[in-house]
Amino acid sequence: MSELVFFSGTMDCGKSTLALQIGHNRSARGLQGVIFTRDDRAGEGKLSSRLGLVTEAVEANEGMDLYAYLVAQLTKGGRADYVIVDEAQFLAPAQIDQLARTVDDLEMDVFAFGITTDFRTKLFPGSQRLIELADRVEQLQVEALCWCGARATHNARTIEGEMVVEGAQVVVGDVNRPAGEIGYEVLCRRHHRRQMTSVSARTGALSPDVLPVSSA
Ligand SMILES: Nc1ncnc2c1ncn2[C@@H]1O[C@H](COP(=O)(O)OP(=O)(O)O)[C@@H](O)[C@H]1O
Ligand SMILES: Cc1cn([C@H]2C[C@H](O)[C@@H](COP(=O)(O)O)O2)c(=O)[nH]c1=O
């Protein structure tokens, strides 16, 4: 029975690497997949992992009908045994419905990868629809860690290393950005709630020494 599987987690927990591994293992057995992605950091039509691997992909633009694309491929005599979708959080809910239809009507496995929540802990619409429709939601086994050592469960957006809570939901970017750039950091819930990034935690630890407060 074909399945719609949502592999979800924070940023930087190995989702794209797993997507590439699933594709590699299936193509090594003669299966042919269609890889969709949207707004990968490496550029249009790429699926890239921080481990340095990258593969060509079909850019799932806004408004693109993914089910119709796959039907057109098959009608032209192309093959599609399974589907991989990276950065699935950026897809519209209607596109997730098209993926579910692909599983049910075309009997293809669909493996979708994406972050669940944004920098304000709110579900991305695409991720919400995946949680609603997926046959399985899988957490990745490799834990991304907060600076405190706890499992990272949330994504913070940063400027100069400090967490920000205002801004557009979608800003393509990466963890460990140089000073001045918008970046991201994964945190445990406790430190996300307190808006405490690795930078602000360091500053906080240093400040009592730098500016001693008199109790008098
Ligand atoms: N230099 C490295 N050596 C070993 N593993 C690395 C290295 N750089 C990144 N990684 C691994 O790659 C993971 C990020 O993989 P990636 O697939 O890009 O994540 P995601 O798609 O979830 O954002 C990190 O959690 C880490 O485990
Ligand atoms: C939290 C958050 C992230 N994004 C963007 C930043 C990256 O381009 C992707 C996530 O990529 P990854 O492969 O999982 O690291 O999402 C965003 O646009 N808005 C956010 O709130």
213 found inside a domain: no
ipTM above 0.95, yes or no: yes
Q: Which ligand is nearest to the CA of 17?
A: 1
Residue 151 and residue 133 share a domain? no
Residue 187 and residue 135 share a domain? no
Q: Which of 114, 142, 170 is the last residue before a domain boundary? A: 142
CATH for 93: 3.40.50.300
Q: Report the separation in Å between the CA atom of 18 and the middle of ligand 1, taken as the mean of its atom positions.
A: 10
In this structure, what are the phi and psi dihedrals at residue 124, rounded to the nearest 5 degrees? -70, 145
CATH for 177: 3.30.60
Residue 161 and residue 95 share a domain? no
Number of domains in the chain: 2
Residue 69 and residue 22 share a domain? yes
Residue 132 and residue 169 share a domain? no
Q: Which of 142, 163, 196 is the last residue before a domain boundary? A: 142
Position in ligand 1 atom list of the atom nearest CA 49: 18
Give me the pLDDT at residue 143, please: 87
pLDDT band of residue 71 (cuts 50, 70, 90) is very high
- On the question of pLDDT at 210 being above 50, the answer is no
pTM above 0.80, yes or no: yes
Residue 167 and residue 62 share a domain? no
Position in ligand 2 atom list of the atom nearest CA 184: 1
State the residue range of the domain holding 61.
1-142
Residue 102 and residue 169 share a domain? no
Tens-digit pLDDT profile for residues 155-187: 999 999 999 999 999 999 999 888 788 999 999
Residue 107 and residue 201 share a domain? no
Ligand 2 test: best mutation among 155, 186, 197, most atoms within 8 Å of CB? 155
Give me the pLDDT at residue 214, please: 56
